[in-house]
Amino acid sequence: MSQSTSKKRLSREDSQAQTRARLSETAQQLFVENGYGGTSIRDIAERAGYSQGAFYSNFASKEELLLSLLRGHMEAEAVQLSSLMDSEGRTPEQILTELESWAATLNHDADWCMLSIELQLHANRSPVFATEFQAVWDAHRAGLGRVVGKLFATVKRQPPEDPEELAAAFMALTHGLALQRVGKGPDSSGRLIVLFLRGLIAAAAPLE
């Protein structure tokens, strides 16, 4: 009578999904605030309003939780990249505008960016984590690289570097700026990426 679509009672699955989601969310906040190493499972559970045991009913370990966040990260970014790529026949100006708003969106929630830094730092320390991380990272880099390559093709100029390397540089710029910015002013990485890209195009040799 009272379960299924009711708002009061959640089915067991939904209830666990909720617990898991709340723990994930809280963990993400805390990783950004205090770093991965500086965040204890007790902190996460307490702040999310659960027992420590509840954490272990949902995640096998702290690292597994980080991996789970990484996967969420990956999915969100894949969505954004595909919207940068899939529609045809845009002008270079349109592509640049979209790139700028891509960076802005990514970082409007500055937390995403700091989390990304925590992920990178942890990948540098845990080989297990590094393996999964690398895959996500490479995919992302390749996706953004294709956008950059497409931009140069549209303006009929030769990219002065492997577009993937340029993409990696833009990601690095974004992360480095997030590190500087924490809690301070607004994010300028979108604007700077566009500025740099315009410069590269201006200095690039025409195709052929």
Partner DNA sequence: TATGAATGAGTATTCATTCAT
Partner DNA sequence: AATGAATGAATACTCATTCAT
Q: Which residues bind a second copy (CB under 8 A)?
A: 33-35, 37-38, 117, 120-121, 124-125, 160-161, 165, 168-169, 171-177, 179-180, 182-183, 188, 192, 195-196, 198-203
CA dist list (Å): 29 to 50, 137, 171: 16, 21, 21
Q: Which one of residues 1, 5, 7, 12 is an interface residue with DNA (CB under 7 A)?
A: 12
Long-range contacts of 120-126 (CB under 8 A, 24+ apart): 120/175, 121/35, 121/36, 122/36, 122/63, 122/66, 126/63
- Choose among a second copy, DNA, none what residue 171 binds, the Cβ cut-off being 5 to 8 Å by kind: a second copy
- Choose among a second copy, DNA, none what residue 11 binds, the Cβ cut-off being 5 to 8 Å by kind: DNA
User: CB-wise, 32 or 84, nearer to a second copy?
Assistant: 32
122 touches DNA by CB under 7 A: no
Q: Which one of residues 21, 33, 40, 128 is an interface residue with DNA (CB under 7 A)?
A: 40
Q: Which one of residues 25, 43, 111, 165 is an interface residue with DNA (CB under 7 A)?
A: 43
Cβ pair 136, 81 in contact under 8 A: no
Q: Give the C-alpha separation, 59 to 90, whole Å.
A: 44
Q: Give the C-alpha separation, 157 to 123, whole Å.
A: 36
